[in-house]
Amino acid sequence: MVDISSLDQYELEQLRDAVNRRLLLMRHTTRLTLPELLRLFDDVKVALRDQGKEWWSLETWQWRDGGIRFWLNPRDQAQYQPGWYSIDELIAWTQDAGPVLVSFDDEPDDDGERPDADAGVTFTWLPPSPPDH
Give pTM, 2 decimals: 0.63
Identify the pLDDT of residue 69: 93
Identify the pLDDT of residue 117: 44
Identify the pLDDT of residue 9: 87
What is the full DSSP assignment across the chain? ---GGG--HHHHHHHHHHHHHHHHHHS--TT--HHHHHHHHHHHHHHHHHTT--EEE---EEEETTEEEEEEEES-TTTB--EEE-HHHHHHHHTT-STTBPPGGGS--TTSEEEETTTTEEEEPPPPPPPP-
Identify the pLDDT of residue 17: 77
Q: What is the pLDDT along the chain (133 residues), one digit of tens a residue?
A: 778 888 888 888 888 878 777 776 666 676 778 888 899 899 999 999 999 999 999 989 998 888 889 999 999 999 999 999 999 899 999 989 999 999 865 455 555 555 444 444 555 666 666 666 5
* Residues facing residue 63 across a β-bridge: 68
Identify the pLDDT of residue 13: 84
